[in-house]
């Protein structure tokens, strides 16, 4: 058994929780699998290709505390669904190409009666088969789900679990039949806030078309000759939290070859055509942004005297407005030092930030 410890003033070693937690997380079967997982489908094709080609991660972060906390919370949630609501949990599913673990499954009533002879203890869940995926989120990420709903990748994931159940992809299980199609009529996504325990649930009937889209996405990745043949579907480090935490970040974005503190995205501007496309995107976005800022500024001034409260589908709240404590006055300090004939301490100025200028040229006939 590996031990990491810090010795305190008493000379008693204190095990390092997070070093052990990261080792434990990397040893989990899901961290070592090389088949394509449903949770990777629809996210980023290049990242998924790194996984299926068995590429060794270039970025194993030791600060993924929130993710590990989410894993621990996730395990407790599944225990509750299993013990309190009769769900079958952590079902290993595969068709030999895709390998996943469905969080929770409830079979319909007639199927449960047949399964009872096999020792199933699943409780009532209505007359439909339901597969559920549980996701823990930060408060900010949960707010995005409330406003925008589940992402396409999340719907892909839970539909693939349903598909694998429906085609007999369940592996060894103590009470459900393996190698036999299991009924799934409804797919469900349950989001739980890591900070305050808020719960948001989205569910819908199983949709064969969504499954076909997910399988086509997966087939595209599986047919790739190498990871670099797949496009980067996300915006890259500094612009995408998924890229920031990707275990293949350095390999994907050539971070070890960057110089002059340039952004990783500079590798996308590989020729004149790519630069022109980026300029077009920048100019278009700047024009939309300018118009949006004007609308926002006017709306903000209109609301300046409005009381906090709920107005239709919106909640208005106010923060700030408190008096600030006194703070140093640099200009006055300089005048005092100059009056006393004391040299003003200076520090290296460095460089000013580069400012871009993009002007749309008039069309020529």
The pLDDT confidence band at residue 273, using thresholds 50, 70 and 90, is very high
Which residues 6+ apart lie within 8 Å of 218 measured at CB?
36, 41, 48, 97, 98, 160
Looking at residue 112, what is its pLDDT?
55
Looking at residue 313, what is its pLDDT?
86
pTM score: 0.77
Residue at token pair 């749309």: 360
103: helix, coil or strand?
strand
The Cα–Cα gap between 337 and 341 comes to 6
The Cα–Cα gap between 267 and 265 comes to 5
Q: Is the CB of residue 156 less than 8 Å from the CB of residue 210? A: yes
Q: Other CB atoms closer than 10 Å to residue 102's CB: what's the count?
A: 26
Residue at token pair 């949006």: 292
Looking at residue 32, what is its pLDDT?
45
Tokens of residue 361, six digits? 């040229």
Q: Which residue has the higher pLDDT, 137 or 23?
A: 137
End-to-end CA distance of the chain: 75
Q: Is the CB of residue 129 less than 8 Å from the CB of residue 105? A: yes
The Cα–Cα gap between 99 and 41 comes to 11
CA dihedral 109, 115, 121, 122 (to 10 degrees): -30
The Cα–Cα gap between 6 and 11 comes to 9
Q: Is the CB of residue 17 less than 8 Å from the CB of residue 24? A: no
Mean per-residue pLDDT for 7-29? 65
Mean per-residue pLDDT for 132-142? 91
Mean per-residue pLDDT for 2-17? 65
For residue range 293-343, what is the model confidence (pLDDT) as tens digits?
A: 999 999 999 999 999 999 998 899 999 989 999 999 999 999 999 999 998
Looking at residue 316, what is its pLDDT?
93
User: What are the φ and ψ backbone dihedral angles of 314, each rounded to 5 degrees?
Assistant: -125, 145
The Cα–Cα gap between 107 and 115 comes to 9
Looking at residue 277, what is its pLDDT?
95
pLDDT of residue 230 exceeding 90: yes
The Cα–Cα gap between 71 and 75 comes to 6
Q: What percent of the chain has pLDDT over 70?
A: 85
Tokens of residue 34, six digits? 């090389």
The Cα–Cα gap between 339 and 87 comes to 79
The Cα–Cα gap between 95 and 176 comes to 17
The Cα–Cα gap between 57 and 245 comes to 11
The Cα–Cα gap between 33 and 66 comes to 22
The Cα–Cα gap between 2 and 23 comes to 9
For residue range 65-120, what is the model confidence (pLDDT) as tens digits?
A: 667 777 888 888 999 999 999 999 999 999 989 999 999 999 987 565 555 544 44
Looking at residue 118, what is its pLDDT?
46
Q: What is the 3-state composition of the chain as percent helix, strand, coil, each rounded to the nearest 5?
A: 40, 15, 45
Mean per-residue pLDDT for 16-39? 66
The pLDDT confidence band at residue 30, using thresholds 50, 70 and 90, is very low
Mean per-residue pLDDT for 139-146? 90
**Can you spell out the DSSP letters for 311-348?**
ETTEEE-----PPPPP---HHHHHHHHHHTTPPPP---
Mean per-residue pLDDT for 42-53? 94
Beta strands in 138-183 (DSSP E): none
pLDDT of residue 162 exceeding 80: yes
Looking at residue 302, what is its pLDDT?
97
For residue range 170-212, what is the model confidence (pLDDT) as tens digits?
A: 998 888 998 899 999 999 999 998 888 899 999 999 999 999 9
């Amino acid at each position: 058994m590996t031990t990491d410890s810090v010795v305190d003033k008493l000379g008693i070693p204190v095990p390092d929780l997070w070093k052990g937690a990261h080792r434990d997380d990397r040893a989990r079967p899901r961290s070592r699998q090389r088949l394509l997982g449903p949770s990777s489908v629809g996210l980023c094709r290049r990242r998924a290709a790194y996984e299926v080609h068995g590429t060794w991660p270039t970025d194993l972060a030791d600060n993924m505390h929130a993710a590990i906390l989410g894993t621990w919370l996730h395990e407790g949630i599944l225990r509750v669904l299993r013990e309190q609501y009769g769900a079958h949990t952590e079902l290993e599913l595969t068709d030999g190409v895709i390998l996943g673990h469905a969080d929770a499954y409830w079979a319909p009533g007639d199927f449960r009666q047949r399964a009872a002879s096999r020792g199933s203890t699943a409780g009532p869940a209505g007359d439909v088969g339901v597969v559920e995926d549980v996701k823990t989120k930060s408060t900010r990420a949960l707010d995005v789900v409330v406003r925008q709903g589940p992402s396409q990748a999340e719907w892909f994931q839970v539909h693939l679990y349903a598909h694998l159940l429906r085609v007999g992809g369940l592996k060894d299980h103590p009470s459900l039949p393996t190698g036999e199609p299991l009924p799934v009529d409804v797919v469900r996504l349950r989001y739980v806030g890591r900070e305050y325990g808020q719960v948001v649930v989205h569910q819908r009937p199983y949709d064969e078309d969504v499954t076909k889209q997910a399988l086509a996405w997966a087939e595209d990745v599986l047919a790739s000759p190498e990871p670099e043949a797949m496009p980067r579907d996300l915006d890259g480090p500094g612009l995408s939290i998924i890229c920031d935490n990707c275990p293949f970040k350095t390999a994907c974005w050539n971070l070890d070859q960057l110089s002059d503190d340039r952004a990783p995205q500079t590798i996308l501007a590989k020729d004149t055509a790519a630069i022109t496309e980026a300029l077009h995107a920048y100019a278009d976005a700047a024009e939309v942004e300018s118009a949006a800022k004007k609308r926002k500024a006017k709306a903000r001034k209109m609301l300046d005297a409005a009381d906090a409260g709920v107005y239709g589908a919106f909640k208005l709240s106010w923060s700030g407005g408190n008096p600030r404590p006194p703070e140093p006055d640099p200009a006055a300090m300089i005048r005092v030092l100059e009056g006393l004939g004391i040299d003003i301490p200076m520090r290296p100025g460095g460089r000013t930030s580069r400012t871009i200028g993009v002007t749309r040229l008039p069309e020529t006939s």
